[in-house]
Structure formats: C-alpha cells, structure tokens
Amino acid sequence: MAACVGGDDDAWTELERRHGRAVQLVVLHVLDERRAEATGPDLTELPTVTARVWERVRRNGGGALRVWAGGQLAAYLAVLARREAERHVEDETPAAALVAHLPTPVFLTRDPALGERIAEKLEATLARLGPRASTFVRLRQRGLSLADVAATLGQPQPAVQEDLARVAERLAEVQGGETALAWRVQLDAATPMERVRVAVRTEDDGAFRRGRTVAEAAWRRMRERALRERVGWEPGPLQDAHSVAAFVDGSMRGSERAHAEGHLTTCVRSVDAVATLVLDLHGIRALRGREGLPDVSALAAACLATTRFRLAATLAKAADMTRPEAAPLFRLASAGRALQVGSAPRGEDSRVVSTRIPSDDEAPIVALEALVRGDARAAHRAIDDHAAKQTVGLRLRLLAGASGPDLGEARAIAERVSEMTSPDPGLGVDAMMVRALPEGRALPWESLTERLRDVVRDAMRFALSRL
C-alpha cells in the first residue's frame, strides 16, 4: 500500500491485478440490483463503472488508501466499489433488492394486493418491537440468512433464531390464523424439519395455504417499501468505508465494536451498508481458486455459488463457448434461473447435448436439469452407484428418490447420512428434510426447489474440478 500511495505505477498494476475481479463482481452486483430487467444487467456498462472505481481509489495520490487502517483490503475496496457504482446509477430506479427468501412457492398465489392491507399493520408492529428486532428483520430483508445475521452481529445463532421466532409469533398474532410457522420460514427462523412440515401443509391444507399466501404477499410488500425508501446516515461510527469494512471483516474489536453495534440499531443506512458488504464478500470469497478461468467465467462461477442465478446466466451467455467450462456454467445458470423464476426461461437455446447415458462427469448436471423440469425418474436414472460416490451425486440421488421414484431408498440414504459423524453440511440438511417427511410422502416441490438451489453450487464445483 505504501508503494501505491508513493506513486509506484507497478504497485498500482499489482493491486488491480489482485483485486480487479473482486471490484468487477461488486460493480456487477450493483448493476444487477439497479439496472437489471428480466434478462439481467447490461454488461457493456461494466468497464466504464470499474474504471470509475479505480479512478476513485487513485484520486488525490491514493487518498482512499491513506486512510485505510488495516483489516481485509478486499472488504474495504468492496465498500468503495459499491459506493462508486451506486453513484454511477444514482439517478436510476432505486435498488430492487436481492431476494432474501425462496421464490414464491408454486402453491401460493403471488398477488401483491393480498398483503397490502395487512402490511401496514405489520410494519407498525415491527416498529414497536424495538431496535434490536428491527435490525434483525432489516438484515433479513436485505438478504442475509440466519447464520449471516448471527455472524455479522457477533451473536450466538440460537439466540438470534429465538429472537426472530418471537418476531414471527408477534406478526402471526397481528395477521391472525395459524401462521406463526409460516412467518418463521419467511424470517429464516425455522429448522429444516419445520420447513418441510410447512411445505407439506401448504400443499394439503387450504386454510393454511391462504394464510401463508397473505403472509408471503405482506412480507414482499413490506420489504419492497423498506428497501426502496431513501434514508440518510445517522451520526455514528459506521459512516465511513473503512469502519463498515472493519465491522464486517471482524478487525473492529473491543469498545469500538460495541459502540458500532449500538449504532447499527439506530441507523438504517448503516444496516444496509453492512448487509450489502456481507453479501458482496460472499461473492468475492467464491472467486478463490478460479484464477485459471477467464474473467467472465470466474465471475459467472462466483454468482452461481452465491445463488445470483440471473446474473450468472447473463455472464455465462457472454462467455466463449469454445472453452470447456462455458457449457457447464451456462447449463447450471439456466437451471438455477429456472428455479428462481419457477419455470425454464422461454426462447433460450439451452445448448444441451442430449445423451441416453450421461458420462460420470456430466451426470450431476443431467440429474439437476431433470429435477428442475420435474422429471425425477430421469434424474434418478442419471445418478448410478458410481456417480453417487461423489457428494453432489449422493445429494442428487437422495433428492431424486425422495421426489417419488424410490422413497424407500431415499429414506435409507437419509438415515445413513444421519449416522455420519460430520456429513457434508448440504447433504446433512437434505437428509434431515427427507427424514421429516410423513411416511410414503414425496418431497414437496417447494422443499426440492430449496435444496436444488443449494446443490447448484456443489454441481458447479464438481464440474469445474473435472476440467
């Protein structure tokens, strides 16, 4: 950093080489949030905005680096990149925030009018619950998972889960009906077993389905209003880029951190800055190990790993299709996008070459595509005993069997996984959800969709490892 501040051009070149993709990824996140239509952001803006970011960092002899006081440089540059990219699009439509939950389940009606009346009452209830609860909910609205919220605030995950569960109970009281568990799902405070029970009941119980439909619509409406509202900074320790970065990367400690945590509960703008950095850093970490890929492919892979499927599909379409990683990335992005919107995109060339018996390397993608289009039998056939030796293959075999073709085998796999000392985290959740199913009941589409969104990441890693 001293060399950059001292005007060493070689040092600046090295800085941009090391952090260039991370800056590009954050810029893409902003363009996707602010400018994207149904097909994704316009990639032609990327070079212009990225150049603006580096001009901002270089300005005044590297003034931005002079005030950096340690911590993770990637986090600090991510804050600077987002702020500069947001300035670039500040006259455009306010951010359409990232989805903080699964797409509307197919058994629910997505009608904003259904939640309009109750949303105002629920908002008033949230305002009365206090700053701590409001901060938790705002972080969820911004897209953070339960684990993210706990890690960001330095709180034990069970304690945060209990707090969110209490919020869910209060919202359910205001709405009326048996909707507490539905609200726990919305707030990511439900266990995997509870999520399965909610999905099953949504399919089977008309009254519960109607109540959950209203809760879903009200949550979306509250979220849209909250995140489109322009809010200013409250005076405090989380206004500058370095402080936000230090808070999120953990380098801020002691009384300074305690002061910042208190400030976070009083400043909505700070909550948003912290939340977006957490999500940006998830993507930046997913870039690791992709140095051998071209920029566009590495960026697409990072977006796949963080379930930004629309952006991943846009990038994958721009890749050089003669390269070996291009087709797998495109197929996985298309599958992820179909999961995100509820059906396969129309008018797209899938670029899929059909084979009666997929190779071991191709089998996970073939099985995933089959499950996405609702063909569980084809997915089950694609994963033979050899393919099931890989974690991603076993996950797909389990989910395919649990979707109807072989419920007995799926239950047996789930029981076997539950006895493992430390199974793969994703596989462990898959098994818990299968074990929670009533006897003879197939996995609901809502639950399958949730797990497949997670499987995409494993399938991408497997595909790239085979190149």
What mean pLDDT comes out for the span 144-166?
A: 95
Residue-wise pLDDT tens digits, 396-443: 999 999 999 899 999 999 999 999 998 999 999 999 999 999 999 999
Q: Where are the domains of the chain?
A: 2-94+233-286, 112-228, 295-465
Residue-wise pLDDT tens digits, 274-287: 999 999 999 999 99
User: Which pLDDT score is estimated for 67?
Assistant: 85
> Is residue 378 classed as helix, strand or coil in its secondary structure?
helix
Of the candidates 334, 270, 261, 262, which has an alpha carbon nearest to the alpha carbon of residue 300? 334
In one letter, which amino acid is 37? Answer: E
User: CA–CA separation, 49 vs 56, rounded Å?
Assistant: 11
Band of pLDDT at residue 109, cut at 50, 70 and 90: low
Indicate if the pLDDT at residue 226 is higher than 50: yes
User: Which pLDDT score is estimated for 196?
Assistant: 97
Indicate if the pLDDT at residue 101 is higher than 60: no
- What contacts 429, CB < 8 A, 6 or more positions away? 192, 451, 454
Indicate if the pLDDT at residue 455 is higher than 60: yes
User: CA–CA separation, 431 vs 418, rounded Å?
Assistant: 7
* Helix/strand/coil (H/E/C) assignment for every residue in 104-156: CCCCCCCCHHHHHHHHHHHHHHHHHCCHHHHHHHHHHHCCCCHHHHHHHHCCC
User: Which pLDDT score is estimated for 345?
Assistant: 39
User: CA–CA separation, 304 vs 269, rounded Å?
Assistant: 28
User: Which pLDDT score is estimated for 98?
Assistant: 43
Residue-wise pLDDT tens digits, 45-60: 999 999 999 999 999 8
